[in-house]
Chain A
Amino acid sequence: MNLPDPEQLLAELTDKIRSDVTKDTVLVGIHTGGVWLAERLHKDLECTLPLGTLDVSFYRDDFHEIGLHPQVKPSNIPFEVEGRHIILIDDVLYTGRTIRAAINELFDYGRPASIRLAALVDRGAREMPIAANYIGADLVLPEDKMLALEQKDNRKLSLNLYNKISSE
């Protein structure tokens, strides 16, 4: 099937977020695809506060089934979360479980004033009551496929479909 160009989607997503960004807005990317997007958004939206990154491995709800993720990256939140307006950024919004984990982790840094969610692709099939505030595109995909954002050495983004080997 034909997948959209993520560079085009990112440009549209940037425009949708732009009007809501103030000098107090902070961006937090979720590893790994969300961090690539957040780095680009941080630059293009001219955010002044530093970028945050989250690896939700320690908050996942499938630890008891599949164990610790093989490559856990450090989370880095280089600002006070207390009272902050946060935009959380992920590549693919699917079951909503990753976002649930990310919100829980953020609250262990402090009580934010608000959290909004931006995702490059929303592929539906939610298992949690979670919705994004900003979406690049809605895609309907076969249940047995995994959609992954990838970044090449020249920082160009691509979207690819794989046969699913484990849950999101």
Chain B
Amino acid sequence: MNNPQLNKNGKLQHLLTTEGLPASILLKILDTAESFVGVTQRDIKKVPLLRGKAIFNLFFEPSTRTRTTFEIAAKRLSADIVNLNIAASSQSKGETMLDTVNNLSAMNADMFIVRHSQSGAAHLIARHVRPEIHVINAGDGRHAHPTQALLDMFTIRRYKRDFHNLRVAIVGDILHSRVARSQIHALTTLGVPEVRVISPKTLLPTKVERLGVHVYHDMEQGLKDVDVVLMLRLQNERMLGARLPSAEEYFKHYGLTQEKLALAKHDAIVMHPGPMNRGIEIDSAVADGKQSVILPQVTFGIAVRMAVMAILAGN
């Protein structure tokens, strides 16, 4: 099958989703990121690799953390990065997304990093641009957020070494979560034998079992003996009231507390893609506790994004 992410030599041309990417490419990204972790710990946190490259952060949907980490990653590769907050610019004057892309391509862009509320936006841009331009999906609708999933895989491998003997639980709003989808594809491709999703019925996509996950509606059962707990943000802004009785009720059943975490393995790690809703999906005692690796995730996220950009720019 023709994979729109790969060029004719089978190398990564765009990173749009973790779905359908072979383990070898995922592992190459993780391995390359290991080398960038060292770079980010030096006094001079910069390498000359992408000198002279023009990268555009095309954010059609607001984001602070993801945009900032891409910006830092590009700068540490010596690329020139320009941030476009499109919600507040040309599109409000009526320009179409592809016209915006055409204009930036005419400014000799080498790479686009795209965040959009519509699923498929990054795919559309990837199909549209000249073959020498690379596209990274920084989150599209409910569909995919591949760099978040990859930094999560990197963090898991850092703490757990091997994917092949792990039990991983993804907890929360699976229905609206592009992060969850990308995590599930990455985890199963990398050989994690047991991926669980724990969620109320109203926040689960239909037929989610087809992705190869085990479904739990009860936190106590779902967390039992897991090695990794991947918390998701409750997406209040996408919720529009009807799916949940209240935030308090949600926290009571699906909020991660120390008591519930005690059911997981004693050395289980807790992750969250941010931004966190403390007291809704996660208790502060857990978020700031000794099993939390939420801040290391942010640090590793820079190295992983550097790796993705460096590999794409070289392909």
Interface residues of A in 58-116 (CB under 8 A from B): 58-59, 63, 66-68, 70-76, 104-105, 108-110
| Given contacts A58-B39, A58-B49, A108 and B44 within 8 Å (CB-CB) | yes
Name the contact of B31 in the complex, choosing from A67, A72, A105 (C-beta under 8 A).
A72
Interface flag for B88 (CB, 8 Å): no
Report the tally of A-B residue pairs with Cβ distances under 8 A.
49
Size of interface on B: residues with Cβ below 8 Å to A: 21
Chain A residue nearest to B38 (CB atoms) is: A74
Interface residues of B in 287-315 (CB under 8 A from A): 310-311, 313-315
Interface residues of B in 22-39 (CB under 8 A from A): 28, 31-32, 34-35, 37-39
Q: Is the CB of B314 within 8 A of A58?
A: no
Query: B299 to chain A: closest CB distance in Å?
Result: 15
Interface flag for A55 (CB, 8 Å): yes
Q: Is the CB of B48 within 8 A of A58?
A: yes
Query: B148 to chain A: closest CB distance in Å?
Result: 22
Query: A137 to chain B: closest CB distance in Å?
Result: 32
Q: Is the CB of A71 within 8 A of B48?
A: no
Interface flag for A57 (CB, 8 Å): yes
Interface flag for B47 (CB, 8 Å): yes
Query: B137 to chain A: closest CB distance in Å?
Result: 20
CA distance A44 to B44 in the complex (A): 33
Q: Is the CB of B31 within 8 A of A59?
A: no
| Given contacts A63-B49, A68-B311, A110 and B43 within 8 Å (CB-CB) | yes
Chain B residue nearest to A108 (CB atoms) is: B44
CA distance A110 to B42 in the complex (A): 9
Interface flag for B142 (CB, 8 Å): no
Q: Is the CB of A67 within 8 A of B314?
A: yes
Chain A residue nearest to B77 (CB atoms) is: A58
Interface residues of B in 1-54 (CB under 8 A from A): 11, 28, 31-32, 34-35, 37-39, 42-44, 46-49
Name the contact of A71 in the complex, choosing from B31, B44, B46, B47 (C-beta under 8 A).
B31
Query: A59 to chain B: closest CB distance in Å?
Result: 6
- Cβ contacts under 8 Å, A66 to chain B: 314
Chain B residue nearest to A70 (CB atoms) is: B28
| Count class of interface residues, chain A | 20 to 34
CA distance A59 to B78 in the complex (A): 11
Query: A11 to chain B: closest CB distance in Å?
Result: 32
Name the contact of A72 in the complex, choosing from B35, B44, B48, B315 (C-beta under 8 A).
B35
- Cβ contacts under 8 Å, A104 to chain B: 48
Q: Is the CB of B32 within 8 A of A68?
A: yes
Binary interface encoding of chain B residues 124-149 relative to chain A, with 1 for a CB under 8 A from any of its CBs, else 0: 00000000000000000000000000
- Cβ contacts under 8 Å, B11 to chain A: 67
Q: Is the CB of B314 within 8 A of A55?
A: no
Q: Is the CB of A58 within 8 A of B31?
A: no
Q: Given contacts A70-B28, A72-B32, could you give 19 more A-B pairs where the C-beta distance is less than 8 Å?
A: A58-B39, A58-B49, A58-B310, A63-B49, A63-B314, A67-B311, A67-B313, A67-B314, A68-B49, A72-B31, A73-B35, A75-B38, A75-B39, A76-B38, A105-B47, A108-B42, A108-B44, A108-B46, A109-B44
Among all A-B residue pairs, the 9 with the closest Cβ atoms: A67-B314, A58-B47, A68-B314, A108-B44, A74-B35, A72-B35, A74-B38, A58-B49, A72-B32
Enumerate chain A interface residues (CB-CB to B < 8 A).
Answer: 55, 57-59, 63, 66-68, 70-76, 104-105, 108-110
Can you list 18 contacts pairing A with B, beta carbon distance less than 8 Å? A58-B35, A58-B39, A58-B49, A59-B49, A63-B314, A66-B314, A68-B49, A72-B35, A74-B34, A75-B35, A75-B38, A75-B39, A76-B38, A105-B47, A108-B42, A108-B47, A109-B42, A109-B44
